Each structure stands twice: as C-alpha cells, then as structure tokens.
With several copies, the nearest count.
Chain A
Amino acid sequence: MLLRIKKLNKSFVVPVLKNLDFELHEGEVHALLGSNGAGKSTLCNIISGIHTADSGSFEYCGLPYTPNSLQAAEALGICMVMQELNLFPTLSVAENLYFRSMSDRFGIVQHQAIQRRAKKALQTVGLNYIDPAQPLSQLGVGQQQLVEIASVLQRPIRLLILDEPTSALTGPQIDLLFEQIIQLKKQGIGVIYISHRMDEISRIADRVSILRDGELVATKAVADISTDRMVQLMAGDESTSIDMKESIDQSHLPNNSILLKVENLTRRTKNQSGGDSGFENISFNLNAGEVLGIGGLIGSGRTELLRAIFGADQAHKGCIRLASDGFKTRRIMKSPADAISHGIGMLVEDRKSQGLLLSHSVSKNISFAILDSLNKKLGVVDQSAEQDLAESMSKKLSIQCDSMQQPISLLSGGNQQKALLARWLAIDFSILLLDEPSRGVDARAKNQIQALIRELAAMGKAILIVSSETQELLKVSDRIAVMSNGRLAGIFKTTELSEEKLLEASFCFYSSEDNQSKLANARI
C-alpha cells in the first residue's frame, strides 16, 4: 500500500471533502472521477501538501504522514501536475523544465547541460521539435502543458498526481503520455489520475474512485464498471445515461446561406530558433446553422487562426468577408471590439490568463462582455439585471458555486470554464468561435455544452469550434477542417470522417522526418 487516507475532512467556507477514504497501491493507476467542483483537485492538493486537511489520518509507504508543505511532500517523492499551468513565460523551456535543478553547486546555471537534458526530456513527451532555449511564452497551451508534465517526470517520483493532464492535448500526445504512465507503473510508482475524458479512464486506470459533493461514492476496479454507470454515480442521478453518439440532434441540415468567408488568411511569425508559427493561406466558408470543427495536432495553428479571425492578433495577409454587407468589404478585424460589433464572439483557450477576471465575482465575470447593455442611466450598472442574467446562465450551464458573489478564483476549473462560456452566450452573436470549449468540464456538463452548441446552430448561428478531443469534434461538427503545420489539410464532412483519417490529415504537412517521428510517437 502506497498511500492510505482515512476520514479526510476539509472545508473552505463550506465542507468540500467529507469523511473521505482513499487508497493507492504501488504500480496502480487510480482514477478520480467526479463532476466539476466535486473536490478532486482539493484532495490532490492536500496529498501534495498545498492545502492542509482539517482532520483525517494519512499513511504513506506504511508510515504515518502529515502533508504540510509542498517541499516535504516532494522530498517523499510525491509530485503533482496541477490543473492550471504554473510556469514562467519569460524563462526558457529548459529553465522551466529544470527550475530547481538548473544550477551547479555554486548557483551558476548550466545552460548547456540543461538544454542537452531538456532535449531528451522533451522527447519523452513528443516535443522533439521544440528548441529548449526558446522562451516558454512562444509555446501554445498544449505544448506548455506537456512541458509541465515533462518537468515533473524528471524528478524522482514514488507517487504521481496528474490533475487533468490531457485537457489541452490531442490524440498522439495522449498516447505518448500513457506510454510514460505505463513505464512508471512498471517501476511500482502509484499514479492518481484525474480526467473528464471517460474513454481515457477505461484505457489507463486500474481502479476508479468516484466523488460526489466531496463524498466518496464508490471505488471499483475499472473492469467492473461501465462508463455509463460511472457517469450516473458522478451525477447521483440514476436515470441519466449519457450516450456519447446519439444524444445530439444532427437531423437538420445547415442551410446554405454563408455567414463568413475566410480568404487566404495568413499570419506567420518566425521565432528565434528559426521555426515558423502561425498559419497560412487558410480559406473556408462558414454557413449559418453550421458547426465547423477544426482539428489538428497541438501547435498546428488552430488557436492562432481563431485569434486572427477575432482580431485578437492581426492577420498579415488575406481577409474575411461577412454576409452582413454582402461580402463586399475585405476585412481584417482590428480588435476584438471590432469583431464583436460585427457579431463575432470568441471563447479563449487559456482561461486563466486571457479570460477570467480572477478576483471578481462570478456574476461580474459572466456579465462582463455585455456590461454596456446592462446600464440603466448615467452608466450605472443594473445589478439586479446582472444578477438575473448570472443566475439564469448558471442554471443553464449548471455552474456550481456558493453564490453569484463568490470570487471566481475559488471555483473549480470546470466551473470557471462554464462561467466563461456563459459570458459569450450572453451576448448577441451570429458567429461564435470556441477554442476548447469543454476543456476541464465534466462529462455531463460537456454533454450539455455540446447540446447547447447544436441548439445554437439550430437557431441559425454559425459556430467554429477548436477541440483537442477528437470524439467531441466528431460529435458536434457538421464539417471538420483539419489543420496541419499551419496549413489546411482539408475540410471533411463529419459523416465521411473517421478518427484515423483525421489523424492522417493532421500529419500531412509536417516535413518527412518530423512526420516520421510524430507518427512513430503516435503509434506507440
């Protein structure tokens, strides 16, 4: 037995964990399941010494254990990849990887040495094409997530906690990560694994513990329980059954009225290490009532494309045209405000740095984009209307929080994501760009969001969605555009597309050696 927890209690303002028992064996992957806000991250934070428990007994490797600081936990080999990124954008990739061990005895940073080691470390997570000397800020979110994982994997581990490590990753990287986990298992290392992607649970976990409102509902061997049952237990609602394929209504066909034309849109920037980033010559049409998915590997330029359409970054070449003026004007959106005034909204990828107003209340976060229409007179915000809006949105998306006045920083990751989505649903848009909309959202809510997306489409809105979860793309999209190395590999009807075909298209524009290594990675 690696870790045994008995009668764990923890409350912040309200109880978050109640009389929880938990066990982890050596060489076991133990998945934690639970809807957003169930207390998974809190449990892990307690094990790794970030928070202290109110009561409960701990036993680690057969000895009593009181986790009281991160350092103490790490000294015992307990390492964690946290749900949110904790990295330093202005330091290089290598320095981020070896943050504490980058220097020799005299405190002098061994740049050469750590860069050499970093190359290897990056390889283990499939980032061999990244230059370790590059500043971290030049990486996309997915790549940063991998850097964080790689950094933890470099340490001496006995117990590894992975809190939603795959929320920004695509297929091949996940495969690679699982390969690493299997290696660790072989060495007798225990892994606590949190994910909202149900398919991963059955692939990698040995046992699963299901949490609901801070209580342990069940601990079962994965083989003994079906995905449906897991979801039911999480929700505590026997009648719910989540049918991944059919819960979506795809019966209606998008009418052929085009809302948005993207023509040869290009944004290419060279980074210091000579690599390109961005995208080039992207053209497609977006129809009213259509959900167009964008697939591709991480770093393939999906986020940048969305940002350029939205005016968050300026495109270098090409233009977009809108139906509102009969496609007459060649536009490049000058700013997000510009885009919004043309009826385009966008949900950003990195919620913490680009979306949330962390210290503000939930309701203020939800209402922020339509604040100017909530003003009564003299620019006074109509707070009751704001409250109503927040409450209706929170019901619609089942955001779990103590009150609408709670600072959003205290919400669980998934609930924060829902609140951000609510911000965009509140505005009046005709085109909505969604970058990883269900990142960190639990299975049921994910389903709700997906249903919502279809609903919006049925109302005649056009939706562009980037998702790293292939299944999600296949499920909600009418068509899928696949990006590869910044270029468009093709646009496919969802009905004609399989996961394999999508993956193949994702690789088509990488240089042959790149391609080979990536494919090799992907096939492990």
Chain B
Amino acid sequence: MPESKLKSRIQLPWNSLGLVAVLIVLIIFFGTMSEYFFSAVTFRTLVNQIPALTVIAVGMTFVLLIAGIDLSVGSVMALCAAVMGILVIDHQAPIAVALIGALLMGLACGTANGFVSAKWRIPSFVVTLGMLEIARGGAYLVTNSETKYLGDSVGFIGSPIAGLGVSAALIAAILVVIIAQWVLSKTLFGRYMIAIGTNEEAVRLSGVNPLFWKVLVFALAGLLAGLGGIFQLSYLQSADPNSGIGLELAAIAAVVIGGTSLSGGRGSVVNSFLGVLIIAVMQAGLAQLGVSEPSKRIITGMVIIAAVLFDQFREPLGRFFQRK
C-alpha cells in the first residue's frame, strides 16, 4: 500500500488535480453560502492579500524538501519590514536602498539559520526556533516596538495596478512561484534538494557536499521571507514589529496541504501555491459569512484536514482524467 502510494505520487509529481478540486469545491461552497462572494472584487481583493504568504511558502517548500524546517519566517519577515521601515522613515533612505536593506537582512538571517544548522548538525527546528525569537527581538529593537507608518511611498508595490486590478507584488509572487518550480524540476539545484531530502548520506557518497546546498536553501528561504516582508509592508503601508506572529504555521500548512512531505524529498512549488490559495479562500469565505469566532475556528480546522484527505483521492481522479 504505502509503496504503491509513493509510486504514483512520484509518477505524477506535479499532479495538482486534487488540490484544484478542493479549491473549486470551496469556492462553490462559499459562492452559494454568501451573496457577494462570487464576484470579481472578492477575488481581486483575495489575490492581492496573498503575495507575502506565497513567497514565504515557496521558501518553505524548499526547506521542507531538504527535510528541514524554518520556524523563523514570520519573525524574519517582520524584521525585514522593520528594517525597511526605519530606513525609509528614520534615515530617509531612497526606496531602492531600503528594499535592498530588507532583502539583505532576510538573506543574512536565512544564511545564519542554514549555516548553524548544517555546519554544526543542529536540528533546523531548534536553530530556526532560536532565530524566531532573535529576529522578533531584532524587530522590536529597530522599531523601538512602534509601528512605523510609511504611507504611499511604498504603496505602489502592493496596491492594485490601475486597469489590471492586481498588484505588482502579486505578479512578482507568481513569477517567484514559476521560477521556483522551474528551478525545482529543471535545474541541478532542484535535483540536489530532492536528493538531499531523500538520502543525504548518499548525496555525500556521490561526492556532492550537501552543506553548501543546505545553506543555500535556508538563505533563499530567508531572502524570500525578506521579500514577503516588503510585500506585507507595501500592502499595509506600515511596518509592524508584531506582524507575522504564527505565520510559520500558516506557511507550513499551505506547503503541506500542497502535498510536500515534512520528511523531505517530495514536493512541488505549484502545489504549495494552491495550498496558499486554499487557505486564503477559506479565510476570506469565512470572514464573508461572518460566522462566530468559535465556529470559524472549528470550520477552519476541519477544512484543513478535509483538504488533505480529499487530496488523497488525487490518484483515482488522475487516473480518471488520464483515461479520457
């Protein structure tokens, strides 16, 4: 059983049918329940909210692929946004400089995560848990625990482009998804990630040093958390040192709903994106229904489980469509 399951997972690695079906079911459900859900505005609003989570989920996908985990993404995102915020507000830095500052901050945190965990063989769970605290402390430190209001200066990234309806951030995030999926399936780096996640020892015995690639993956995750911070900042037009608390769980949830294995070696960036969409649609839908907080929590929990359960049927579904 498990073996044959494994088998077909691999045969159809980017099979997203099950997830798309879950998404459609959710949309239809909310569409019938709520009067205004099924409208262009709803979807435009919804997709403009997801760029930050999307790029962070991409980084998380890579980290999970190599059998690591990154708990620090939420804090690092907040730290990067904070750095950008103070660069713009307190130091009057040009936007470009501030952007680079935020990205570098993310890269630095990620590299530290990767280096400490890979070099000294400390579980990435512990290292990134430490970084979660450190980066959050850093965010409080640089902002002096104040929310920084930046205003329109950075808004152009996160606001809908006139005539298009979607923001530059969303377009960038989708580009990141596409590139990351391409990297994963077409490049050496992608293959090495999968190999490290399946059998790190065999990678070493093949004469490839996993250290470098592992650090690279964590560095990338940090960089993408920085990018997420920029998106978040431009969306809210303010840098809040308390933002992104608990984001790591949301990101991992999206990735795992997308079928990426927590034990490494198997995953897809596109599916993680579908996972993000599922979570976003669910949140938006529940908010539109305006159900009470307890019910909202209970429904959220059930949908998360049901989505993955449903996705188990991707095989029969896949076979059904292939036969046609």
Could you list which residues of chain A lie within 8 angstroms of chain B, going by C-beta atoms?
50, 70-71, 74, 82, 86-91, 95, 99-100, 102-103, 107-109, 111, 135, 137-138, 269, 271-272, 310, 312-314, 335-337, 339-341, 345-346, 348, 353-360, 364, 368-369, 371-372, 375, 378-381, 383, 407, 409-410, 423, 427
- What is the chain B residue whose CB lies nearest that of A73? B207
Contact residues of B between 212 and 243, Cβ < 8 Å to A: none
Q: Which of B10, B204, B205, B207 contacts A407 (CB 8 A)?
A: B10
CB closest residue in chain B, given A410: B7
What's the count of A-B pairs with C-beta under 8 Å?
A: 160
Q: Once the chains are docked, how many angstroms separate the CA of A310 from the CA of B209?
A: 14
**CB within 8 Å of A: which of B1-43?**
1, 3-4, 6-7, 10-11
Q: Is the CB of B1 within 8 A of A314?
A: yes
Query: How many angstroms from the CA of A340 to the CA of B205 in the assembled complex?
Result: 10
B8 (CB) vs chain A CBs: closest residue: A272
CA distance A74 to B209 in the complex (A): 14
**Chain B residues whose CB sits within 8 angstroms of the CB of A74 once the complex forms:** 207
CA distance A109 to B205 in the complex (A): 21
Chain B: CB-nearest residue to A49: B207
Main secondary structure of the interface of B (DSSP, over half): helix
**B152 in the interface (beta carbon within 8 A):** no
B contact residues around A272 at 8 Å (CB): 11
State the Cβ distance, B241 to closest chain A Cβ, in Å: 37
The interface residues of chain B lying within 8 Å CB-to-CB of A50 are 205
Assess the A423–B10 pair: CB atoms within 8 A.
no
Add 19 more A-B contacts to A89-B199, A137-B6, A357-B198 (CB < 8 A): A70-B205, A86-B199, A88-B265, A90-B265, A91-B195, A95-B191, A100-B208, A137-B7, A312-B204, A337-B204, A357-B203, A358-B198, A359-B10, A359-B198, A369-B206, A369-B207, A378-B187, A379-B188, A409-B6
Most interface-central of A90, A310, A375 (chain B CB within 10 A): A90
Q: Closest chain B residue to A348 by CB distance? A: B205
Most buried by A among B6, B205, B208, B266: B205
Q: Is the CB of A70 within 8 A of B207?
A: yes
Interface size on B, residues (CB 8 A): 29
A339 in contact with B186 (CB, 8 Å): no
Picked from B186, B192, B195, B206, the residue with its CB within 8 Å of the CB of A108 is B186
Check if A71 sits within 8 Å of B10, measured CB to CB: no
Q: Which of B245-270 contact A (CB under 8 A)?
A: 265-266
CB distance from A34 to the nearest CB of B (A): 21
Cβ contact within 8 Å between A337 and B208: yes
Whole-angstrom CA separation of A239 from B202 in the bound complex: 39
Interchain CA distance A210-B280 in the complex, whole Å:
60
8 A–B pairs (Cβ distance < 8 Å), ordered by A:
A88-B198, A90-B194, A271-B11, A313-B3, A354-B201, A354-B202, A355-B202, A368-B195
**Is the CB–CB distance between A99 and B208 below 8 Å?**
yes
Are A271 and B202 closer than 8 Å at their CB atoms? Answer: no
A371 and B191 within 8 A (CB): yes
B181 → chain A closest CB, angstroms = 13
B313 contacts partner chain A, Cβ-Cβ < 8 Å: no
A356 to B204, CA, bound (A): 12
> Are A86 and B186 in contact, CB atoms less than 8 angstroms apart?
no
A358 touching B188 by the CB < 8 A rule?
no
> A109 near B207 (CB under 8 angstroms)?
no
Determine the distance from Cα of A378 to Cα of B208 in the docked complex, in whole angstroms: 18
Bound-state CA distance A91–B199 (Å) is: 11
Does chain A have a CB within 8 A of B156?
no
List chain A residues, Cβ under 8 A from B1: 313-314
Contacts of A358 in B (CB 8 A): 198-199
When the two chains form their complex, are residues B206 and A107 in contact, meaning their CB atoms are under 8 A apart?
no
The distance in angstroms between the C-alpha atoms of A239 and B134, with both chains bound, is 71
Chain A residues within 8 Å of B204, by CB: 70, 312, 335-337
Chain B residues positioned under 8 Å from A99 (CB to CB): 191, 195, 206, 208
Q: Which residue of A lies closest to B187 (CB)?
A: A379
By the criterion CB–CB under 8 Å, are B187 and A359 in contact?
no
Q: Which residue of B lies closest to A50 (CB)?
A: B205
Q: How far is the CA of A359 from the CA of B12 in the complex (A)?
A: 12
In the assembly, what is the distance between CA of A427 and CA of B190, in Å?
A: 21
* Residues of the A chain whose Cβ atoms lie less than 8 Å from the Cβ of B10: 90, 135, 137, 359, 407
Whether B191 and A381, one on each chain, are in contact in the complex, defined by CB atoms closer than 8 angstroms, is yes
Q: Which residues of A contact B201 (CB under 8 A)?
A: 86, 353-354
Q: Give A95 to B208 CA distance when docked, in angstroms.
A: 14
The reply to whether A407 and B7 contact each other, CB–CB distance below 8 Å, is yes
- Beyond A135-B7, A137-B6, A137-B7, is A91–B207 a contact (Cβ under 8 Å)? no
CB distance from B307 to the nearest CB of A (A): 23
A350 to chain B minimum Cβ distance, whole angstroms, is 10
* Contact among A269, A271, A356, A364 for B199, CB-based, below 8 A: A356
Bound: A380/B186 CA distance, A: 6
Q: Give chain B residues whose Cβ lies under 8 Å from the Cβ of A423.
A: 206
Do A86 and B7 have beta carbons less than 8 Å apart? no
Please indicate the chain B residues that have their CB under 8 angstroms from the CB of A313 in the complex: 1, 3-4
- Kindly list chain B residues whose C-beta atoms are within 8 Å of the C-beta of A381: 186-188, 191
Partner of B191, one of A109, A135, A378: A109
